[in-house]
A and B are shown apart, each in its own frame.
Chain A
Amino acid sequence: MMRLFKEIAIIVLLFLLGTLLSLWWYKEVYITAIQEQQSETIPASFTKEPLVKGKTLYFAITAKHNNLGVLKLRPKTYNRINYDTIYFRLREKGKDTWEINNSYVVDRFEDKLFYPFGFPIIPNSKGRIYEIEITSEKGTPTDSVGFYGGYNSIATQYIYSRETIAINNKLLTSFLYEKLSSLMNDLYFILFYVIFLIPIILYVLTKYIKNDFLFYFIEIVIFLYMLFVYIFIPMAMDSSVIIYILTIGFFIFVSHLFHFFEKYFSIYRFSPSWLYGLSAMLVVYLLINIGFNKVLESTRIALAIFYTTLLALALSFFELVVKQKKRT
Chain B
Amino acid sequence: MKWRHAFLLFILAALFLLPQLFWGKLYMVGGDDSRLYYLFPKQYLENFSFKVIANNTLGGNMGYFPVSYSAPILAIATVVQYIFPWLHIQFFMYGIILMLGFLFMHLLLQELIPSFSVIGYISSIIAALYYVFSPFILKTFMQHQLIAIFMLMVLPGCLYFFVKGMKKRSYKYILLSSLFYSLCSATLLSIPWFLATVFIFMPLLIFVVFQYKDFLWKASIVLFISLFLLNFYWVIHHIIPIVYPTGEMSVASTNSTLQAKMANNDLIEALTHLNSPVYQIIGTVRTSWSDREGPTLAQSIGVIYLFVILLAGTRIHLVSSSLYKYYCVSLSGLLFAMLFFTPNFGEWNLHLFQFLNNYVPLFGMFRNTYDKFALAMAFHYSFVLYISLIVLEKTKTKALFKYIGLLIVVSVMFFTAYPYLFPKFNDHEYSTRITGSLNKEFFQLTGFLKSNPTSSRYVWFPMTYPGYVYIKEDGVSNHYYSGLSPLQVLSGSSDIAGFYGIQTSVDPELNTKVAKLFKAKEFDAIGRILQKQNIGYVIVNNDTLPEKALIFLDAYSFMSNQNEEYKKFILGEKLKDFGARYSLYRINPKYDTNTVFLTTVIGEYPVPDNSIHFKKIRSGLFEISIPAITKSTKLVMMEPYNHLWKLQLLGKNTKINTRIENTMVYGFGNAWNIDPIALKVQYPGYVVKANDGSYSMRLQIQFMPDLITKPAVIVSIVSFIIVLILLCITR
Task: Report which A residues bind B (CB closer than 8 A).
Answer: 77, 79-83, 107-108, 143, 238-240, 242, 269, 271-277, 279-280, 283-284, 286-287, 290-291, 295, 298-299, 302-303, 305-307, 309-310, 312-313, 316-317, 319-320, 323-324
Contacts and interface: CB of A to CB of B under 8 A. Distances in A.
Contact of A316 (B307, B311, B328): B328
Contacts of A271: 317
A287 B300 contact: yes
B276 interface: yes
Contacts of B346: 238-240, 242, 303
Interface in B264-317: 270, 273-274, 276-278, 280-282, 289, 292-297, 300, 303, 306-307, 310-317
A309 B337 CA distance: 14
Contacts of B345: 239, 303, 306-307
A281 to B, nearest CB: 9
Candidate in B294, B295, B324, B327 with the most chain A CB atoms within 10 angstroms: B294
A79 B332 contact: no
B699 interface: no
B397 to A, nearest CB: 15
Nearest to A77: B294
Give 3 nearest A-B pairs by CB, closest first: A239-B346, A276-B313, A79-B294
A24 to B, nearest CB: 12
B256 to A, nearest CB: 28
B332 A239 contact: no
Interface string B561-583: 00000000000000000000000
Contacts of B324: 316, 320, 323
B321 A306 contact: no
Contact of B310 (A143, A309, A324): A309
A323 B327 contact: no
Given A276-B310, A290-B296, A323-B324, 18 more contacts: A79-B293, A82-B292, A107-B273, A107-B289, A240-B348, A271-B317, A272-B316, A273-B316, A280-B311, A283-B303, A298-B276, A299-B277, A302-B280, A303-B277, A306-B338, A317-B328, A320-B321, A324-B321
Contact of A286 (B294, B303, B314, B321): B303
A312 B349 CA distance: 19
A298 B289 CA distance: 20
B46 to A, nearest CB: 46
A231 to B, nearest CB: 13
A198 to B, nearest CB: 21
A323 B321 contact: yes
Interface string B591-612: 0000000000000000000000
B335 interface: yes
Interface of B: 270, 273-274, 276-278, 280-282, 289, 292-297, 300, 303, 306-307, 310-317, 321, 324-325, 327-328, 331-332, 335, 338, 345-349
A298 B321 contact: no
A295 B315 CA distance: 32
A313 B297 contact: no
Nearest to B290: A81
Contacts of B278: 286, 290, 298-299, 302
A279 B310 contact: yes
B281 A306 contact: yes
Contact of A313 (B276, B293, B331): B331
21 contacts: A79-B295, A81-B292, A238-B347, A240-B348, A273-B315, A274-B314, A276-B312, A280-B311, A283-B281, A287-B300, A298-B295, A302-B281, A306-B335, A307-B345, A309-B310, A309-B335, A316-B327, A316-B331, A320-B321, A320-B324, A323-B324
Contacts of A108: 270, 273
Contacts of A276: 310-314, 316
A313 B273 contact: no
Contacts of A313: 328, 331-332, 335
A275 B280 CA distance: 19
Given A309-B310, A313-B332, A319 B294 contact: no
A187 B57 CA distance: 63
Contacts of B335: 306, 309-310, 313
A320 B328 contact: yes
Contacts of A269: 317
A286 B281 contact: yes
Candidate in A283, A299, A317 with the most chain B CB atoms within 10 angstroms: A283
Candidate in B282, B297, B314 with the most chain A CB atoms within 10 angstroms: B314
A50 to B, nearest CB: 13
Contacts of B282: 286, 290
B306 to A, nearest CB: 6
Contact of A280 (B293, B296, B310): B310
Contacts of A238: 346-347
A242 B303 CA distance: 21
A173 B514 CA distance: 59
A320 B325 contact: yes
B402 to A, nearest CB: 17
Contact of B294 (A80, A242, A310, A320): A80
Nearest to A327: B321
Given A302-B278, A306-B335, A239 B314 contact: no
B409 to A, nearest CB: 14
B328 to A, nearest CB: 5
Contact of A283 (B273, B276, B280, B307): B307
Candidate in A80, A303, A319, A324 with the most chain B CB atoms within 10 angstroms: A303
Given A272-B313, A283-B310, A316-B324, A290 B348 contact: no
Contacts of A316: 313, 316, 324, 327-328, 331
A319 B325 CA distance: 10
